[in-house]
Structure 1
Amino acid sequence: MKALAPDFALHACFRSSRPNFLVLAPLCAGLAVSAAWYDGHSPAGLDILLVMIAALLAHAAVNLFNEHHDYRSGLDSLTTRTPFSGGSGSLPENPAAAGAVRVAAWACLSGVVAIGAGFLWQVGAVMLGYGLLGMLLVVAYTGWLTRRPWLCLLAPGVGFGILMVAGAYQALTGTLSHTVLASSLVPTLLVSALLLVNQLPDIEPDRRVGRDHLAIRLGVRRGSRLAAALVLAGFGVIPLAWLLGALPTGAWLMWLAAPVAVWLAWGLWCLPAEVERGELAPLLPLMGLNVAVLLGSLTLLNAGLLLAG
């Protein structure tokens, strides 16, 4: 196969990292920073920067591994891409870049390990658990976890929520708090809902390459209803945690997005029966709205914690 010019390889790697979606990582890591400031800590600026870089690299690594695996498995040739599912299309257009994308994935993961090693030395052995589980999720998600329905549902939320938020807080402060644990539940639930919805258009292609996730098990309508329940549960964290004293009143700022979240949940719950026969047009606008609800909610929760501090 003809070698790919370095600039084209870099462009393919950049597209395969799905840069449009990488904003999620700093928003999740940002919850750790916001919670730390609310709890009275003053993390060093360099530590905050390193946490943000590690979050971005971890997210990029997941996307790069996913793009490489989906190309090699033949899934890319079976899916119909949407703005929110089906991959970037980078490798089907540039097959010679597959090796470069795989190298980039491992390079990003190596960057996370290097930063994690620094915090391991600085904070202590507690960081090893976050690091090992995080690496397992990054490497095993596409090839292994997508064949285990409940693990596949929970893994994205746990990665971006509990591991990224609580792990970053522990790296910055050396401890945990009720504030950060409650905050981490929001992305845990909302990110799991996002990934479940994004799997719905690819049910048949995923089944053909051997995947076995809840979208396949439940079908489009029941899968979308589970996602609706997860979205509402994510918003339900705020009043419950506030009543228990785990979150400040400022966290209610996230509820400015609640009307849109309810609209999203209603749309997911009431999808017409035609979607089970492959007519996914009613689902596509909801996929975009789902992304907006996730990013908007995390932005508002960050702002609420900062204002409360």
Structure 2
Amino acid sequence: MTASASSAASTLGTCWRCARPPFLVLAPLCAGLAITSAWHDGQAPGGVSALLVLLAALLAHAAVNLFNEHHDFASGLDATTHRTPFSGGSGALPEHPEAAGAVRRAAVACLAGVAIIGAWCLWRAGPVMLPYGLVGMALVLAYTGRLTRRPWLCLMAPGVGFGTLMVVGANQALTGGFSSTALAVSMVPTLMASALLLANQLPDIEPDRRAGRYHLAILLGARRAARLVALLVLAAFLVVPLTRWAGWLPAEAWLMWLAAPAALTLAIGLWRLPARLGPDEFGRLVPLLGLNVAQLLASLALLNLGLWLAA
């Protein structure tokens, strides 16, 4: 392999790592709820339409990750964080700083892909899609640099992106109409995605504070932020009985509760965390962060399965 080919491969590998591929499965699961809720409502999105919606969700998630990685490297935050498998970034740019420009270009390319698919959604479903698109683009561009300095907006942003936009918005793009089923199931990723990002900020409270960020984990402190995560996760499980009672979801949505024991274990562990996270507490926190990811993905997969079985 020539030096130029080796350099190109290294740059591509860095961009791939900065996109955080192990976490990108969240986006298709959320957009999948738009598809399965349409099936449940008697709609049948075409294969190409469904694939475009899934691709847009995947590209939007990758763009956020790439912009975040570039920003954290350029600001010097990467050099001060306590990196875990779930927080502190991938570590790819500190290892390959020469790829920083390529990572930013990759983020812009992903965002351009989202915009192109968004234009198709606008053509398909009409002007009602424009607010979804504008909010989505704003969230991708503003999350790392701006929203991480506004505690409550920072908490809400992931939920709006993965819940409202990827489920309700995508369902409307596919069907041309508003769906109470999509609204009901969107509440689960809305609560859980916000809980996921807040939990993953816990190990970075001090480095983020020094870097000028001011998210909710900094505002509340580790103990209260962890307890809020627990409450958000448990609240997501209450969505099923409440919306089932309202007649918005089928009985098969109860399948999501197969993940409830994991969520309860997570909530108990988070509730017992101390007010300050020293080095000794990281050993307790990291498994909880992993459990949080696992129960989130399992819950969304089971909810998708329930809607599919009810269709």
- Quickly name the TM-score band, shorter chain normalised: over 0.9
Give the AA of the match of 1:143: G
Q: Does the residue aligned with 2:158 lie in a helix, a strand or coil? A: helix
Q: Matched residues in 1 for 2:183 and 2:251: separation?
A: 16
Paired with 1:191 and 1:113, the residues of 2 have a C-alpha distance of: 23
Return the offset for 1:270. 1.3
- C-alpha contact (below 8 Å) 1:261/1:293 kept by paired residues: yes
Q: Which residue of 1 aligns with 2:257?
A: 255
- Would you say 1:7 and 2:9 are equivalent positions? yes
Q: Give the whole-Å Cα distance in 1 for the aligned partners of 2:170 and 2:10.
A: 34
What one-letter code is carried by the residue in structure 2 that aligns with 1:146? T
Contact 1:219 1:276 in 2 (8 A): no
Matched residue count? 308
Which AA in structure 2 matches 1:188?
A: T
Instruction: Select which of 121, 124, 136 maps to 1:122.
Output: 124
Identity of aligned residues (%): 67
Counterpart residue type for residue 200 of structure 1:
L
Amino acid corresponding to residue 208 of structure 2 in structure 1: D
Distance 2:29 2:119 in 1: 23
The 5 Å alignment of 1:1-309 reads 5-273=7-275, 275=277, 279-309=281-311
Q: Distance in 1 between matches of 2:216 and 2:181?
A: 31
- Kept after mapping to 1: 8 A contact 2:86/2:290: yes
Structure 1 residue identity aligned to 2:151 = P
Instruction: Specify the SS of the correspondent of 1:202.
Output: helix
CA contact (8 A) 2:29 2:301 kept: yes
How large is the Cα RMSD of the aligned pairs? 1.4
Q: Is residue 275–residue 282 contact of structure 1 (8 Å, CA) maintained in 2?
A: no
Determine helix, strand or coil for the equivalent of 1:83. Answer: coil
Contact 1:214-1:223 within 8 A present in 2 as well:
yes
CA distance in 2, matches of 1:134, 1:273: 34
Give 2:284's aligned amino acid.
P
Question: Structure 2: which 5+ runs fail to align?
Answer: none
For the Cα contact (< 8 Å) 2:28–2:57, is it kept in 1? yes
CA-to-aligned-CA distance 1:154-174 (integer Å, 9 cap, x gap): 101110001111111011001
Q: Secondary structure at the match of 2:42?
A: coil
Give 1:278 deviation, angstroms: 6.8
Contact 1:148 1:213 in 2 (8 A): yes
Any idea what the Cα deviations from partners look like across 1:182-227, whole Å, max 9, x if unmatched? 1000000001111001000000000011000110011111110000
- For residues 103 and 276 of structure 2, the distance between their equivalents in structure 1, rounded to whole angstroms, comes to 37
Distance 2:241 2:99 in 1: 48
Secondary structure of 1:282 counterpart: helix
> Distance in 1 between the 2:97 and 2:154 partners?
28
- Normalising by structure 1, report the TM-score: 0.97
Is the contact between residue 161 and residue 187 of structure 1 (CA under 8 Å) also seen in structure 2? Answer: yes
Q: How far, CA to CA, are the matches of 2:230 and 2:84 in structure 1?
A: 20
